[in-house]
Chains A and B, each alone.
Chain A
Amino acid sequence: AQKITQTQPGMFVQEKEAVTLDCTYDTSDPSYGLFWYKQPSSGEMIFLIYQGSYDQQNATEGRYSLNFQKARKSANLVISASQLGDSAMYFCAMREDGSSNTGKLIFGQGTTLQVKP
């Protein structure tokens, strides 16, 4: 069954340092997409970055990059040069894109990141 696992309930990082948030997934569908969302204390869900299962290169969006290791079924989010505004809950999510594709997202439990000044 499809599953997303985020094993780090909470993380601390010093301002201006890089941090990696872990995400592992499980699916039997060869075609899938992986997403990261940010949820600040205000509650909205903000899309950060996407990685397709057939993409050859790791996705990057500004200070966000996705360390995609397909064989290990991991899709870790790397935030470079952390800022105080990066303090938030971060969710990894997966969408299966095969024949039964419905656009549904499966979410992990989330990781709370706190950036220290």
Chain B
Amino acid sequence: NAGVTQTPKFQVLKTGQSMTLQCAQDMNHNSMYWYRQDPGMGLRLIYYSASEGTTDKGEVPNGYNVSRLNKREFSLRLESAAPSQTSVYFCASSVVQGGPDTQYFGPGTRLTVL
């Protein structure tokens, strides 16, 4: 049981390049989330998927797109990377949307855009 996995762990892009961050969970969770964490700040929600087949914008969606490929996988795409997107990206998943069930986080992807 690997939990939440993310690839890659590190990435350096040039301005204007595109890339896709991959996330997969093996806990049969319904909901999945993408966050970004900037230095000295908390996590901010980019996009989320409450269930397979649905996606919605979070607090900071501009410059990103997502795909909920199936129940296990939720990818985040940067179509034209900008230096402002330099950040650590976390994927998370949760089984239910209430009670003590928390979100489980992946290890993060550290992205630098030059």
| A binding-site residues for B, Cβ under 8 Å | 4, 6, 9, 31, 33, 35, 43-45, 47, 50, 52, 91, 93, 95, 97, 101-110
Contact = CB atoms under 8 A, between A and B. Distances in A.
B53 interface: no
Contact of B42 (A31, A33, A47, A109): A109
Interface residues of B, number: 29
A12 B108 CA distance: 27
Interface of B: 31, 33, 35, 40-45, 48, 50, 56, 58, 88, 90, 92, 94, 96-100, 102-105, 107-108, 110
B100 A52 contact: yes
Most A-side CB within 10 Å, residue of B50, B58, B100, B107: B100
B35 to A, nearest CB: 8
B100 A33 contact: yes
B90 A45 contact: yes
Contacts of A105: 33, 43, 45, 92, 103
The 4 closest A-B pairs by CB, nearest first: A107-B42, A45-B105, A103-B97, A50-B100
